[in-house]
Structure 1
Amino acid sequence: MTGMFWITGDDLDADQAKAVEGIPEAQSFLLYGPAGSGKTNILLLRAKWLTYRKKTNFKIIAFTASLKRFIAQGCTHYGFDPASAVTQMTFFKEILDEFGVHYELTRSFEPDRTMLAGKVLSLIESKGIDGTYCETLLVDEAQDYTDTELLVFRRLAKTLVLAMDSRQSIYRTTHTPDLPEKLVGGQVITLQYHYRSGLKLCKVADAILSDAAAFPKIQGECKYPESTRPSQVVSATYPSLDAQLSAIAANVAMQIDLYPEEKIGILFPKKDQSTAFEDYLSANPIAGANEVVYIDTLHGSKGWEFRAVHIAGLEALYKMGATQKRLIYTGLLRGKTSAHIYFSGHLPGYLDSALGKLEPPRPMPTLSDLFKST
């Protein structure tokens, strides 16, 4: 697979193929695998398989609007209705609207998601709605949903398909132990290999989430063609965010020629940073950028993939709180061949140390080294 979506059945390995065509249509299951293992594509092909079977009363649930757009592109690529893709917030609002249930949004994500899920669950119980409402729900990024949201999905659908990777959970969501497995009757397909990200990106990602017991390493299961297209991770510090934006633009201009027609991602911790780069490009356009450049936050990049990824403004990463490690982990593994890291001042220690895994061991410093200006 060289693009974002598969072209032929030969692109799938045995576990991926089993998840698409080897599970009975009425069997719920959990699809577990690392970033780049093909989970979203499997959901899309499973939806195409259901379409072929005329079992089209299904929805593909996306966690963010950005991921929904990506999935809708996949629906078009595989030849079925892109309206099948919907965010969980929109899906819940549509159900409440259908049954005439009043709700008021605060425009704050966490309170609104909790309120909507609670109202839909109450509606299900009061109206006796069962799994006939939707034949199949295919839920991407299932690790980011609350228990209540997962229970609502289970109650609404005859068949539930969950795709997840706990290493990429970017919200403060904890599940009742084994709840996802219980909701699908214990049917789990584990994808061992991943194909997107180069070995150097995997090494840095593994060092960011360094607890191997909680976050299994991914570099040992890497099937990226390192020998024919060596990967790289480059980091550099700049005096200001404006200087970072200028450096990104210069690097992207070269990469547009180097990787023709391939997506390039520019990601930031904060929305105002991504907006600043959009403004920079408006004032300093790059030839061909409109067709291939994707600008978003680390949150918004979930589910996407890019030949090259640029992650900037990382001096603000500490402001992301408890999820910051998983955010930068997820953002880094959006990239295939290269990742550029930009910051002003200092990186968080765990990230600086992770990047150091790609460098040769440094000599023991002397006292004179310690008093040198840096």
Structure 2
Amino acid sequence: MAGAFWIGEKDLDEFQVDAVKGIPEESSFMLTGPAGSGKTNILLLRSKWLIFKSISNIKIVSFTSSLKDFIKIGSEQYGLPVENSCTAMYLFKEFLNEYDIPFETSGNFEEDRAMLAGKISSLLAENPIDPIYEALLVDEAQDYSDTELYIFRALAERLVLACDSRQSIYRVSQTQGLIEKLAEGNRVDLKYHYRSGYNICRVAEGLLMDKVTYPGISGSSKYKEKSKPSSVVINVCADLQEQITVILSNLEGELQLYPGERLGVLFPKNLQVAEFQNKLAASAFTQDQRDNICSFTLHASKGWEFTSVHIGGCESLSKMGAVQKRLIYTGILRGKTSVNLYYSGSVPGYIGSALRVLSPPPSDPNFGSLFGDQNADS
């Protein structure tokens, strides 16, 4: 897992170095960059840089608990207090508890986040307070609502907001330009990314065709494609059970090929993840091998990276609404070297279209075949 984090200054490019130490310590800033550009690493290193400057009342805020776990792994490697990492939901609950504001959660993530943000917003409107944190460093800032972002601003003397609009997979309405405004107009754009291979990037680009809103990423990839060619493969299966069987079979070979490296298995739905986890627990894999296999929903996989990624249940993507393309885009870009997609029945046409970039153009069909074999030209 250490490969997910940097081990020395030589690992950083000039833009990453600037993001860690180029902004004055008292300033806020916005950090942008594609998947694999090191945004989460930079939040960790910026946090450590601030601590060296005697700024210690810090929280690194993640959107999901799975990303919080990933950040805690990085915190341990960088020698940072793991308790500095928390989810936004936890941060908001702690704040309300501190001010003795009662609240009741329902267990519905979207309802609960809106309720917590609403209560804090009302409290701040009635009783303005001084910032209670010296710094908040917020990952996946594109997924927060305006209200949540204003709360972060109110609670922190310094605010670092890391974001990539291409990976926005939650249904929130966010005012254009708000993140940069809250970051006092300071901005660092990361130019290069290092995680995903060229072929993986090309397929991901094919999913988001609007190049103005979603700029391409293959041209800025620093992955060493020649030494370890990347791939994206689609697997057609009869049903979910067969998908899981094929995934486990493919993982068996990869555990030998990539010993000790982390492999990801992702699905659109929690029930699919649970089904896979049950089959994994009953498999012949050793405990060490199981520990190297991470299984999440596509939503929960944000921020993680894996040598190989297996995305099952792709036939369910069409039920994920307007975010489905960005969801599979984000999932594919969790992978470094290989991505396998699995589906039963049919998948949205945009996936087949994206995969065509890796195949040579097909030859023209025999015109007669359009009318059936019996009319085909001889």
Normalising to structure 1: TM-score of the pair? Answer: 0.97
- Matches of 1:106 and 1:281, distance apart in 2: 31
Contact 1:249 1:286 in 2 (8 A): no
Unaligned 5+ residue runs, structure 2? 374-378
From the superposition, tell whether residues 370 and 55 of structure 1 become closer, same or farther in structure 2 (CA, over 3 Å). Answer: farther
C-alpha distance in 1 between matches for 2:161 and 2:17: 16
Report how many residues are paired: 371
2:39 is aligned to 39
| 1:327 equivalent in structure 2 | 327
Q: Percent identity?
A: 51
Q: CA deviation at 1:110?
A: 1.3
Please give the alpha-carbon distance, in whole angstroms, between the structure 2 residues aligned to 1:183 and 1:240: 47
> In structure 2, how many angstroms separate the alpha carbons of the residues matched to 1:41 and 1:65?
17
Partner of 2:222: 223
Paired AA for residue 235 in structure 1: I
**2:355 is aligned with what amino acid?**
L
Aligned to 2:169: 170
Q: Is the 8 A contact 2:146 2:174 kept in 1?
A: yes
Q: TM-score normalised to the size of structure 2?
A: 0.96
Aligned-partner SS, 1:211:
coil
Segments of 4+ moved more than 6 angstroms: none
Paired letter, 2:98: E
SS of aligned partner of 2:117? helix
Aligned residue in 1 for 2:245: 246
Q: Quote the offset at 1:190 in angstroms.
A: 0.4
Offset at 1:240? 1.0
Which deviates more from structure 2 when the two are superposed, residues 363-372 or residues 274-283? 363-372
For the Cα contact (< 8 Å) 1:51–1:80, is it kept in 2? no
Q: SS where residue 192 of structure 1 aligns?
A: coil
Q: How many Å separate the matches in 1 of 2:63 and 2:297?
A: 14
Residue aligned with 1:273, SS: helix
CA distance in structure 1 between the aligned counterparts of 2:340 and 2:45, rounded to whole angstroms: 32
Q: 1:119 to 1:308 in 2, by over 3 A?
A: same
**3-state SS of paired residue (2:184):** coil
Is the partner of 2:95 in helix, strand or coil? helix
Q: Corresponding residue for 1:292?
A: 292
CA drift at 1:21: 1.1
What SS does structure 2 have at the residue aligned with 1:310?
strand
134-143 or 359-368: bigger deviation: 359-368
Q: What is the Cα deviation at residue 281 of structure 1?
A: 1.0
CA deviation map 1:208-234 (0-9, x unaligned): 001101100000111101011110111
Q: Conserved in 2, the CA contact under 8 Å of 1:124 and 1:130?
A: no
- Using a 3 Å threshold, how does the CA distance of structure 1 residues 156 and 370 change in structure 2: closer, same or farther? farther
Residues in 2 aligned to 1:84 and 1:124: alpha-carbon distance in whole angstroms: 23
The 5 A counterparts of 1:143-162 are 143-162=142-161
Secondary structure of 1:205's counterpart equals helix
Task: Write the distance in 2 (CA, Å) between the matches of 1:362 and 1:369.
Answer: 16
Query: Contact 2:280–2:290 (CA<8 Å) still a contact in 1?
Result: no
Q: CA deviation at 1:172?
A: 1.5
TM superposition shift of 1:127: 2.8
Alignment correspondent of 1:214: 213
Following superposition, the deviation at residue 167 of structure 1 comes to 0.2
Q: Secondary structure at the match of 1:10?
A: helix
- Corresponding position: 1:368 with 2:369: yes
- In structure 2, the CA distance between the partners of 1:370 and 1:201, relative to structure 1 (3 Å rule), is farther
Contact 2:193 2:222 in 1 (8 A): yes
Which residue number corresponds to residue 341 of structure 1?
341
Post-superposition shift, 1:369? 6.4
Query: Does the residue aligned with 1:228 lie in a helix, a strand or coil?
Result: coil
Superposition map of 1:1-374 within 5 A: 3-131=3-131, 133-287=132-286, 288-366=288-366, 367-368=368-369, 371=372
Q: CA deviation at 1:153?
A: 0.3
Q: What's the secondary structure of 1:118's corresponding residue?
A: helix
Q: SS at the partner of 2:172?
A: coil
- Root mean square deviation, CA, Å: 1.3
